[in-house]
């Protein structure tokens, strides 16, 4: 294992925290250490963090040596996150590529959910150390989106995105963690999550702050991420160094629409369509998401 990685809670059962010193700061996350098994790197969705996927990743801990990163601006990772400078997800992909190079292993399975699925595909481009790529509900925007994102109208247009508007209005500070858990537990978006997943998310999704707590992912950074679509995702999929597999939800919330599914198939990716789940399948059915990542 790379000497820059430090186990922050040595001796604890189950997953352990880890940190990696990198250019500009520190990447942090959770690890299920099994160095005799093939390595797996998992990246989360916008606004979430690695701890939200503990139930899914625990199910994979007998098959992989697992690293789950908190992306820049999320969770425990400490890297510059200036919303004014974020125009694409290349910054995230660069962090992943740097981590892979620091760790210097072969045979990686790269997996990610939503934004995390897009950035692992982008980070894999041109690499020779990747064995498999598993994307859970990647944000598979039409190729024209990247073109529009390079035009002068994009700053105005992107401000109108509903997800970005909601993120900017999101409450970011509370007196106590228990208050957040109670408030979130009443929201419809969390009602179908598997028991315990919300608590896992809040573990690192909240940061202690002046006697209270705040969102680890600042609303302005989350909004900027939702608006940053100058991404050559489809080029990355076409150039992927390993077979790409995609898990899509048969639900109105899916980010893998019918035309995207057809495009994936034309490129040569494998697509599985799952009923009874939403875009947040990894939180609702961590068992199904784990089976997909494992290739079962």
- Supply the pTM of this predicted model: 0.94
Domain boundaries, the chain: 5-294
The CATH superfamily holding the domain 5-294 is: Alpha/Beta hydrolase fold, catalytic domain (3.40.50.1820)
Q: How many CB atoms lie within 10 A of CB 10?
A: 8
What per-residue confidence (pLDDT) applies to 205?
Answer: 97
What per-residue confidence (pLDDT) applies to 161?
Answer: 78
Phi, psi for 58 (deg, rounded to 5) = -60, -35
What per-residue confidence (pLDDT) applies to 6?
Answer: 56
Chunked in runs of 10, what are the mean pLDDT values of the chain (296 residues)?
51 78 95 95 98 97 96 97 94 97 95 98 97 98 85 78 86 94 92 96 94 95 94 97 98 96 97 97 98 95
Q: Give the Cα separation of 269 and 128 in Å (integer).
A: 18
């Amino acid at each position: 294992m790379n000497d820059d990685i430090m186990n922050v809670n040595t001796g604890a059962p189950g997953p352990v925290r880890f940190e990696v010193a990198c250019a500009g700061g520190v990447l942090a996350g959770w690890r299920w250490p099994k160095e005799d098994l093939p390595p797996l790197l998992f990246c989360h969705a916008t606004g979430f963090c690695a701890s939200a996927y503990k139930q899914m990743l625990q199910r994979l801990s007998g098959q992989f040596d697992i690293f789950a990163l908190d992306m820049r601006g999320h969770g425990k990772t400490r890297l510059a996150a200036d919303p004014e400078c974020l125009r694409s997800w290349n910054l995230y992909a660069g962090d992943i590529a740097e981590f892979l190079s620091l760790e210097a292993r072969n045979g990686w399975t790269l997996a990610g959910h939503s934004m995390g699925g897009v950035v692992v595909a982008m980070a894999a481009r041109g690499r020779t150390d990747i064995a498999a790529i598993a994307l859970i509900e990647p944000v598979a925007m039409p190729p024209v989106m990247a073109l529009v994102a390079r035009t002068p109208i994009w700053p105005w247009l992107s401000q109108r995105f509903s997800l970005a508007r909601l993120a900017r209005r999101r409450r970011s500070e509370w007196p106590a963690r228990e208050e957040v858990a109670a408030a979130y537990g009443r929201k419809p978006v969390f009602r179908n999550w598997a028991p315990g997943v919300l608590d896992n998310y809040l573990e690192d999704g909240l940061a202690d702050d002046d006697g209270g707590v705040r969102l680890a992912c600042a609303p302005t950074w989350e909004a900027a991420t939702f608006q940053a679509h100058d991404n050559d995702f489809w080029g990355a999929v076409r150039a992927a160094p390993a077979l790409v597999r995609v898990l899509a939800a048969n639900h109105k919330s899916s980010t893998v629409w019918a035309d995207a599914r057809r495009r994936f198939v034309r490129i040569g990716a494998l697509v599985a369509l799952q009923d009874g789940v939403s875009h947040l399948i990894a939180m609702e059915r961590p068992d199904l998401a784990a089976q997909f990542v494992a290739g079962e």
